[in-house]
C-alpha cells in the first residue's frame, strides 16, 4: 500500500476521502451541529500534513444514508464549522459533490486551503460505484488519498472507483489502522487472545474461522455464544439463535476440536503451538454461566443462571460472573488481544456487567490491545475506558473483513494505481 510519503503534493489538488460520518444534534441556536468530533480529529494528521506540504485539499465524505438524494439535514455544513475550528484553516463547503461549479472552486484553491465536497452519498452513483461519478470526482483533483478505513471494504465511487483514475495513496489514519490490525494478526505477541461477541453471528462466523489456528484462545460471548451452546446440546430458551448459525457453530466446534490442545482448555500455560505450518492450538472458550432476562428490556425480570441451560421463556443476555472471571484471567495473561463485540446487551443496565468486566480486563491487559466494532467502541466509551486500549478501530465492517483475510477493494485500489 502506497503512503503519502510517495506523493509530491506541493501545489497539487489532493482529493482526500475521509470518514466524517459523525453524529449530529441540535445546537443552542437550533442549528445542526457535530456532537462527537472524534472522527474529524482522527483525520487531522493527514489533513495537517498535506496542508503543511503545500497541498490544496478537496475533502470527500459520506454522512448518514441519504440514499442518492440531496437531504439537507445530511449536509456536511456542520462538519465544515467543526473543521474550521479544529484546523484554523480556511475551509469552505462546495454546493454539490461534483460538477463544473465545484471544479471551478477546486481550481481557485490556494495552497493549504480546504474545500469540503457535499455528502458523496447525495449522488446515486456513489454506492453503485458508477464510473461517471468516479471520473467527475477525478476531475476535481490531481492526486487521491484514502483515509477512510471504515469504508475500505466497500467498492464505492469515492473509495474505489476514483482510486484507479488518479495517483493514489493511503492517508496516515488508514495506514495506521491497517498496520495495527495486520500486525496483530500476522505477528501477534503470544499468547493472542481473541474475544468475540455481539449480535451479528452470521457476520462473524468467518472471523471465528480465521482465529481458529491463529489465536491461542478464542473467548466467545454475546448472542454469539448461543449457536455454540445449542450445537453442544444445551437449551437456549428464547435467546438469539438462528438454525443456520447453529450449523456454522457446529463446524467451528469440529475445527476447534481438531486443533485443540490437551488439558482442560483453561490454563494459559497449557498452550501448545503446533510446529509444522505455524498453526496454533486454539482453545475455544464458551460461557459457563449467564445472566438471563425475560425480555430485551431495561426493566425485564432477570437473574444469574449458574449453568448454560436457559429455561424456556428466558433469554441469555449477558455472560455470568464465573465466565467474567475466567475470561478476565485469560485476558490478563495475553501478549495481544483482539476484541470485537460486546459480551451482552450492555445498553441495558442489568446486562452490562459482562461487557464491563471484559472491557476492564482489556484496558488493564499489559499486551497490545486492539478493539474493533461500533458497539464495542460505544461500550468502551460508556465505561470511560476508550483511552485505555492501544487501538480502537473506527471501521466495524472493514475491520472484520480484514480479520477474515479478505482483500478490501478500497485498499487493493491503492496498490495498483499509477505513481505521480
Residues in the site for ligand ADP, rule: CB under 6 A?
Answer: 197-200, 222-223, 240, 316-317, 340-342, 344-345, 347, 373-376, 396
CB of 407 to ligand ADP, least distance (A): 21
Exactly one of 13, 39, 154, 210 is catalytic; name it. 39
**Of 167 and 197, which CB lies nearer to ligand ADP in the complex structure?**
197
Can you read off the three cell numbers belonging to residue 75? 449536509
**Of 284 and 345, which CB lies nearer to ligand ADP in the complex structure?**
345
Phi, psi of 60 (to 5 degrees): -125, 135
**Of 102 and 317, which CB lies nearer to Mg ion in the complex structure?**
317
Among ligand ADP, Mg ion, none, what does residue 347 contact (CB within 5–8 Å per kind)?
A: ligand ADP
**Of 215 and 223, which CB lies nearer to ligand ADP in the complex structure?**
223
Residue 288 is a catalytic residue: no
Residue 125 is a catalytic residue: no
Residue 179 is a catalytic residue: no
- Please, what is the end-to-end C-alpha distance for the chain in angstroms? 15
Would the CA dihedral through 394, 399, 402, 403 be positive or negative? positive
The residue at minimum Cβ distance from Mg ion is: 375
CB of 352 to Mg ion, least distance (A): 16
CB of 374 to Mg ion, least distance (A): 4
**Of 261 and 395, which CB lies nearer to ligand ADP in the complex structure?**
395
CB of 354 to ligand ADP, least distance (A): 8
Among residues 286, 293, 323, the alpha carbon closest in space to that of 306 is found at 323
Phi, psi of 92 (to 5 degrees): -130, 160
Among Mg ion, ligand ADP, none, what does residue 94 contact (CB within 5–8 Å per kind)?
A: none
Q: Give dist(CA 323, CA 320) in Å, integer.
A: 5
CB of 64 to Mg ion, least distance (A): 16
Q: Give dist(CA 352, CA 362) in Å, integer.
A: 15
Among ligand ADP, Mg ion, none, what does residue 409 contact (CB within 5–8 Å per kind)?
A: none
Among Mg ion, ligand ADP, none, what does residue 376 contact (CB within 5–8 Å per kind)?
A: ligand ADP
Q: In what order do the strands lie in the sheet with 91-93?
A: 91-93, 114-116, 56-60, 13-17, 143-146, 168-170
Q: Give dist(CA 88, CA 110) in Å, integer.
A: 15
Among Mg ion, ligand ADP, none, what does residue 345 contact (CB within 5–8 Å per kind)?
A: ligand ADP
The residues binding Mg ion (CB under 5 A) are: 374-375
CB of 344 to ligand ADP, least distance (A): 5
Pairing of strands 56-60, 91-93: unpaired
On whether the CB atoms of residues 39 and 394 are closer than 8 A, the answer is yes
Among ligand ADP, Mg ion, none, what does residue 341 contact (CB within 5–8 Å per kind)?
A: ligand ADP
Exactly one of 53, 176, 200, 270 is catalytic; name it. 200
On whether the CB atoms of residues 211 and 340 are closer than 8 A, the answer is no
Pairing of strands 91-93, 114-116: parallel
Residue 39 is a catalytic residue: yes
Q: Give dist(CA 165, CA 149) in Å, integer.
A: 19
Among residues 324, 292, 286, the alpha carbon closest in space to that of 310 is found at 292
**Of 191 and 344, which CB lies nearer to Mg ion in the complex structure?**
344
Among residues 387, 407, 396, 64, the alpha carbon closest in space to that of 198 is found at 396
Which positions are catalytic? 39, 200, 374, 397
Amino acid at each position: 500500500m502506497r503512503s503519502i510519503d510517495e506523493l509530491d503534493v506541493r501545489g497539487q489538488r489532493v482529493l482526500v476521502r475521509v470518514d466524517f460520518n459523525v453524529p449530529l444534534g441540535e445546537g443552542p441556536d437550533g442549528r445542526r451541529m457535530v456532537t462527537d468530533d472524534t472522527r474529524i480529529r482522527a483525520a487531522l494528521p493527514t489533513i495537517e500534513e498535506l496542508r503543511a506540504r503545500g497541498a490544496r485539499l478537496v475533502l470527500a465524505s459520506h454522512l448518514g444514508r441519504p440514499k442518492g438524494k440531496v437531504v439537507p439535514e445530511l449536509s456536511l455544513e456542520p462538519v465544515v464549522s467543526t473543521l474550521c475550528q479544529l484546523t484554523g484553516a480556511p475551509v469552505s463547503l462546495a454546493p454539490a459533490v461534483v460538477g463544473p461549479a465545484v471544479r471551478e472552486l477546486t481550481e481557485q484553491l490556494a495552497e493549504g486551503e480546504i474545500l469540503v465536497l457535499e455528502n458523496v452519498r447525495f449522488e446515486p452513483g456513489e454506492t453503485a460505484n458508477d464510473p461517471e461519478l468516479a471520473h467527475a470526482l477525478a476531475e476535481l483533483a490531481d492526486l487521491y488519498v484514502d483515509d477512510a478505513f471504515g469504508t475500505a471494504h466497500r467498492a464505492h465511487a469515492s473509495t474505489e472507483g476514483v482510486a484507479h483514475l488518479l495517483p493514489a495513496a493511503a492517508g496516515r489514519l488508514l495506514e495506521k489502522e491497517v498496520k495495527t490490525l495486520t500486525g496483530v494478526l500476522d505477528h501477534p505477541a503470544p499468547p493472542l487472545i481473541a474475544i468475540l461477541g455481539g449480535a451479528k453471528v452470521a457476520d462473524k462466523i468467518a472471523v471465528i474461522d480465521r482465529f481458529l489456528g491463529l489465536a491461542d484462545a478464542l473467548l466467545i460471548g454475546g448472542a454469539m455464544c448461543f449457536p455454540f451452546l445449542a450445537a453442544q446440546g444445551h437449551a437456549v430458551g428464547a435467546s438469539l439463535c438462528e438454525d443456520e448459525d447453529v450449523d456454522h457453530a457446529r463446524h467451528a466446534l469440529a475445527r476447534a476440536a481438531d486443533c485443540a490442545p490437551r488439558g482442560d482448555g483453561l490454563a494459559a500455560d497449557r498452550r501448545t503451538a503446533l510446529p509444522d505450518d505455524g498453526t496454533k492450538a486454539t482453545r475455544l472458550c464458551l460461557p459457563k454461566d449467564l445472566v438471563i432476562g425475560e425480555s430485551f428490556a431495561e426493566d425485564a425480570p432477570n437473574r444469574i443462571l449458574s449453568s448454560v441451560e436457559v429455561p424456556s421463556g428466558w433469554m441469555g443476555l449477558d455472560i455470568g460472573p464465573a465466565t467474567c472471571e475466567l475470561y478476565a484471567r485469560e485476558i490478563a495473561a495475553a501478549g495481544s488481544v483482539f476484541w470485537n463485540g460486546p459480551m451482552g446487551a450492555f445498553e441495558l443496565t442489568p446486562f452490562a456487567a459482562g461487557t464491563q468486566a471484559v472491557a476492564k480486563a482489556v484496558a488493564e491487559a499489559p499486551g497490545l490491545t486492539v478493539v474493533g466494532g461500533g458497539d464495542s467502541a460505544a461500550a468502551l466509551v460508556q465505561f470511560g475506558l476508550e483511552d485505555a486500549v492501544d487501538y480502537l478501530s473506527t471501521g466495524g465492517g472493514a475491520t472484520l473483513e480484514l480479520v477474515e483475510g479478505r482483500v478490501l477493494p478500497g485498499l487493493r485500489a491503492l496498490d495498483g494505481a499509477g505513481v505521480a
